Amino acid sequence: MGLRLDIKKLLSQRSSRVKSVEFHPTEPWILAGMYNGQVMIIDYNTSNVIKTFEVTDAPVRAVRWITRKNWIVIGSDDMLIRIINYNTYEKVATMEGHTDYLRCLAVHAEKPFILSSSDDMTVRLWDWEKGFKSIMTFEGHTHYVMSVVFSPKDGNIFATASLDKTIKVWSLNSSVPNFTLEGHSKGVNSVEFYHGGDKPYLVSGSDDKSERTVKVWDYQNKCCLQTLSAHSNNVSAVCFHPDLPLIISAGEDGTIRMWNSGTFRLENTLNYSFERGWSLCYLKGMNVMGFGYDEGTVVIKIGKEEPTMSMDSSGKIVWAKNNEIMSANVKNVEEIKDGERLNLNVKEMGNSEVYAQNLQHSPNGRFVVVCGDGEYTIYTSLAWRNKSYGTALEFVWSLDSNEYAIRESTSIVKIFKSFKEKEILKIPFSAEGLFGGVLLGVKSSNFLCFYDWETCKLIRRIDITAKNVYWSDNNELLTIVSEESFYVLKLNVEEYKLKIDSEISEDGIEESFEFICEVNESVKTGCWNGDCFIFTTNSNKLAYAVGNEVSTISMFDSPFFILGYVAKDARLYLADKDLNLISYSLSLNIISFKSFILRNELNSAFSLLPSISQSDKNILAHFLEKQGLKEKALEISNDEEHCFNLSIQLNKLQVAFELAEKDPSNDSKWRQLADAALSDWNFELAEKALWKSNDFSTLLILYQASGDSNGLLRLAQTAEELNQDNIAFNAYFLTHNHDKIINLLVKSQRFSEAVVYSQSYCPLKLSLVFSKWKSSLPKKIANRIMDPQSNPDQFPHLQTSLNAESWINSQRFSTLSGHHLQNYQSILNSDIHQAAASNTFPSISTVKFSSNVSVQRYQDDLKSTDGRSDNMSLEVNTTGTRDDFLEDLDMENMKLEDINEDNDDF
């Protein structure tokens, strides 16, 4: 059985012929050099072309990043090497020296060196710190030098491949080769070193006539170890994958071939129909590969991001790095902080005979199974002794650690007990995966079947495309993960055991499972803790669900994968693809509390509160709020912000007021309280809150609606002090403080408005205001304005207005309560201006009171000038309505603008 390789295409970008590709080490970019002389930077996540460089009219055959300098280096058929700053497009340098086409470039990982190979049969070494000069030429090949590459283990060693059928290995300090490898029958197009430190290997790809071969070499013993034949045309590029046990080759037959570097078996063949393949590249640590073709660029992802790692219930971790098995124990970590990387004491356990693609502890932690290359081996977890092995596509444990199942093919599943074959389960559909646990799960492309381990009978068929299955610790609950959501079900053990001996339909026992809920989260990895399902998502979120209530624990910048929960530490452990471990605390009491609440067992839930910290109680208060238990949430929370919001929602306004007083500068709280108080008709509390928030606009409406003259006066004075003149103006106007309004307008130097207002409401002030206005104007303009007092014949109604104002002031209408309105309605509706002209003012003595209103009460109302009326008294205008005043004000402003325009002519 071969390696199981999950391959996903990330980029498929059509373009002209791509002769060279290389990945940026940190950004999701691939650099592509093309036969038409262009160089492109492409984002392989979005398929967007980030930048395009018009380099030359000749073909570009080699491109490389020099990211520590923000450069790209380009080799082309015009025999030039160009260095360009890829951020600024600046042409940094152009290097000349080769006398024929440039074929390949290599950049030293640490030193300022570039190697270039050419059709002139030489290799040159360039030093950019010495003015981009060629500091050495390496000669020895007798044909085009097609490839050059530095050794990843020793930066002073490099290898070359040539059409002279040879591979040569060189040192930087010598212009002649250290040795030559011969064995290809035709030209060699590509050469690469093995990345690991355990094998002195090279791999090469050639034009060998009959076989078009890839050869693997031991350069210490200078011999060919293996010849790999599968391409039907020339092999253009070849490499060892830096992380996976793969040799990957690209050929002019349009295919990508993947070979197992341990067994040299052909594992996979890819064909993206982009015509001939010319180049390839890899990115260490990312499992991505890039390919350059006649018709564009392709980027793929090989394998999984999830680390090959397992942890038992006590916190012992084992992981695989290629064939090496390592272990550590989290209990040996002295201090653990949430989200911080753990420093583990690593121990070497031994080696695996196969490349480990999957590790699993048995439920009791005594055994570990290693799966890979279509085989499995069971080891003891402590001594790492081999207990059993076999061939299998998949392996899963039963709840009993002495029982397990393997998938041998798409139709055969074998069950073993005590390492001996117990049963063969013939699957009546195409089995694509296995899931262990309480029941044996077998999935197809669109449904999932559960079987009883003991009888191998079908328990239930569930129509769902399952990605994974997770069983809870109590073996009652399970999570079935699909692409976009997950489902929580409950196993009714007694129900299915009662009916397992009877005839079972093709859908199984209907009563065996009870649907609990569906949660719309895309799960990457997960585990159970009590009634709580903990999971990571494709959006790099760590969260847990109790029922369908999801709570976020943390967000990550990169993917992390759950290893498991250690109950004695109350901590969750996770790892990333680079085997970095982190941990988060997760209290079992919190989970139990939420579980009790969801089961409506309130007494049991609240009995746990004494053992829960206050910070966790605040978290639970939010949970209770979502469940509609707001009173209980208010009882346990000490988060003042949350308590305030709960008090508002529960209409406990006095509690909200006391909480708001602890944060007196928070205007939003006071406004929120004021709105709630107004909705509750609690005007006294609303008034206090509005004053706290300085919400003068709402106070103005409140006082106007309630007829609170004292409140309006207080508001007017405060607003005037804080220069909120519009509020002050309206409040003074509603309380008939015309003198205050005149003073307000004069203070703000709005003299023209003061004159118009005085003419409308208090003509007795007109002369004083007029003189201030006139003195504020330029002399020529002031002389053109006529004074009403000095020219009474030009203002025939002025005296009438003065008489009307004097009579109104003498009657003190502004002190009348609103409940007298109907008694004085006829007087208030009379034309006071006409009465003043004829000196026939209406008599107060003619007013008739209703039976329940006495004259004495009227007189008392006149005396209580500081009293609060039940409703606002009506305003009496000596010359017209308030709308007339505003209209006059607009007209006056227009006149002033005309005067100012005239003033420009002086």
Give pTM, 2 decimals: 0.67
Per-residue pLDDT band for 904 (boundaries 50, 70, 90) equals very low
At 628, the pLDDT band (50, 70, 90 cuts) reads: confident
pLDDT score, position 89:
94
- pLDDT tens, 120-140? 999 999 999 999 999 999 999
Interatomic CA distance for residues 261 and 245, integer angstroms: 5
Domain count, the chain: 3
Measured between alpha carbons, how far is 173 from 170 in angstroms, rounded to an integer? 9
Q: pLDDT tens digits, residue range 608-625?
A: 888 888 878 888 888 888
Question: Domain for residue 369, yes or no?
Answer: no
340 belongs to a structural domain? no
Q: Give the integer Cα–Cα distance in Å for 770 and 617.
A: 69
* Residue 108 within any structural domain of the chain: yes
- Name the amino acid, one letter, at 211: E
Q: What was the pLDDT predicted at 863?
A: 42
Q: Which of 538, 554, 585 is the last residue of a domain?
A: 585
In eight-state DSSP terms, residue 864 is: -
Write out the two tokens for 180.
């030559």
Among 302, 331, 363, the domain-final residue is 302
Neighbouring C-beta atoms of residue 806, cutoff 10 Å: 13
Question: Is 391 a domain residue?
Answer: no
CA dist 461 and 549 (Å) reads 27
**C-alpha–C-alpha distance, residues 437 and 128, integer Å:** 61
Mean predicted confidence (pLDDT) in 867-883: 37
pLDDT at 585: 86
Could you tell me if residue 229 is inside a domain?
yes
Residues 19, 296 contacting (CB under 8 angstroms):
no
State whether 702 and 581 are in the same domain.
no
Token pair in block for residue 644: 């305030």
Q: Are 325 and 579 in contact (CB under 8 A)?
A: no
Residue type, 608: L
Q: Residue 664 falls within a domain, yes or no? A: no
Please, what is the average pLDDT of the chain?
A: 86
Contact 205, 227 (CB under 8 A): no
Which has the closest alpha carbon to 269: 288, 250, 254, 256? 256
Q: What share of the chain is helix, strand, coil (3-state, %, to 5)?
A: 25, 35, 40
Classify the C-alpha dihedral 805-811-813-814 as positive or negative. positive
| Domain membership flag for residue 346 | no
Say if CB 562 and CB 527 are below 8 A apart: yes
Encoded tokens for 738: 């015309």
Whether residue 562 is found in the same domain as residue 705: no
Query: Using an 8 Å Cβ cutoff, are 288 and 10 in contact?
Result: yes
Residues 6+ away with beta carbon under 8 Å from 69? 85, 128
Taking alpha carbons only, the member of 27, 22, 36 closest to residue 65 is 22
Question: Of 81-85, 244-248, 468-472, 619-623, which range is least confident?
Answer: 619-623
Residue 852: pLDDT above 50? no
| Domain identity same for 573 and 712 | no
Q: Which pLDDT tens digit goes with each residue over 85-103? A: 999 999 999 999 899 999 9
**Per-residue pLDDT at 491:** 94
3-state secondary structure of 625: helix
- The answer to whether 744 and 728 have CB atoms below 8 angstroms apart is yes
Band of pLDDT at residue 862, cut at 50, 70 and 90 = very low
873 lies in the same domain as 745: yes
Q: How confident is the model at residue 216 (pLDDT cuts 50, 70, 90)?
A: very high
Look-up of token digits 């329940």: 852
Which single residue is written with the structure tokens 């002030």?
Answer: 765
Same structural domain, 578 and 705: no
Residue 882 pLDDT class (50, 70, 90 cuts): very low
- Same-domain status, 97 and 239: yes
Decide if 434 is inside a domain.
no
Single residue among 261, 280, 302 that ends a domain in this structure: 302
Residue 776 and residue 749: Cα distance in Å, rounded? Answer: 9
Q: Which of 439, 447, 387 is nearest to 413 (CA)?
A: 439
**Which pLDDT score, from 0 to 100, does residue 39 have?**
97
Q: How far apart are CA 756 and CA 766, in angstroms?
A: 9
Distance separating alpha carbons of residues 54 and 447, to the nearest angstrom: 53
Q: Which two tokens stand for residue 286?
A: 């990312």
Least confident of 44-58, 403-417, 642-656: 642-656
DSSP string of 181-226, one letter each residue:
EE--SS-EEEEEE--SSS--EEEEEE--TTT-EEEEEETTTTEEEE
Per-residue pLDDT for 868 more than 50?
no
pLDDT for residue 851 is more than 50 = no
The torsion angle over the Cα atoms of residues 45, 152, 145 and 101, rounded to 10 degrees, is: 40
User: Cα separation of 211 and 269, whole Å?
Assistant: 16
Note the pLDDT of residue 111.
96
Exposure of 221 by Cβ count < 10 A (0-12 exposed, 13-18 middle, 19+ buried)? exposed
Mode of pairing for the β-strands spanning 324-329 and 347-351: antiparallel
Half-sphere exposure of 692 (CA within 13 A, CB side): 23
710 and 568, same structural domain?
no
Q: Residue 664 burial by CB count (10 A; 0-12/13-18/19+): exposed, middle or buried?
A: exposed
Contact 882, 875 (CB under 8 A): yes
Of 749, 691, 684, nearest to 722 by C-alpha is 691
Q: Is 261 helix (H, G, I), strand (E, B) or coil?
A: coil
The average pLDDT across 426-448 equals: 94
Q: Give burial (CB, 10 Å; 0-12/13-18/19+) of 565.
A: buried
pLDDT of residue 888 exceeding 70, the answer is no
The residue count for the chain: 906
One domain, residues 726 and 866: yes
Please count the helices (runs of H) and the strands (runs of E) in the chain: 21, 55
Question: Three-state SS for 766?
Answer: helix
- For 761-808, the pLDDT digits (tens) are 877 777 777 778 877 888 777 777 777 767 777 676 777 777 777 777
Per DSSP, helices labelled H in 505-639 are 588-598, 602-606, 614-626, 630-636
Range of the domain at 823: 698-903
Grouping H, G, I as helix, E, B as strand and the rest as coil, residue 356 is coil
Asked if residue 644 lies in contact with residue 634, where contact means CB atoms within 8 angstroms, the answer is: no
CATH assignment of the domain containing 514: 2.130.10.10
Tokens 């079987």, residue located: 451
Beta bridge partners of 398: 437
703 and 579 in a common domain: no
Residues 838-872, buried b or exposed e (16+ Cβ, 10 A)? eeebbeeeebeeeeebeeeebeebeeeeeeebeeb
Whether the pLDDT of residue 464 is over 90: the answer is yes
